[in-house]
Structure 1
């Protein structure tokens, strides 16, 4: 059936296993927890999932490391600076209790 659908859609023939592998790889690349993928695929152990998709995990780990490298350059939140709009009222909890602050 899948072969017929691929032919009609004029795409290269794929096997169900190929679709399953692609799905798992894309989920891992998107940061979905490996345990969820393990359960979705019906693997008996997390080791089976991680061993099978280790190549995707390496790419994901590299991307995470790159993001960490960028972290020091990212704009940091400065304490005492709100994200509200001028004139907005907000409640601040301090040593004197709740205080309404209007910007």
Structure 2
């Protein structure tokens, strides 16, 4: 069984709740807390879920927004696969896609 995990990144939503509508609003607030990021880095941080995030940046965001890491990051299962039990009629069947190979003919 393979379970792929995804995250929902709520930084933009939390910023809006604090009436912060421009990504550049975060730059000086992060700098006050010792996190020095360029405007472009902050833009990417706000607009897309980060693949890696330093603990210093996470702590600074939580301090700025008065929230916890759980408010910023929601973990969710994506494309969860469930094995079919013997005799279980309600379990999903695996998806099979058949492919036909055609050779060019004369």
Rg comparison, structure with higher value: 1
* TM-score normalised per structure 2: 0.28
* TM-score normalised per structure 1: 0.29
Structure with higher RCO (Cα < 8 A, 6+ apart) = 2
User: Is the helix fraction higher in 1 or 2?
Assistant: 1
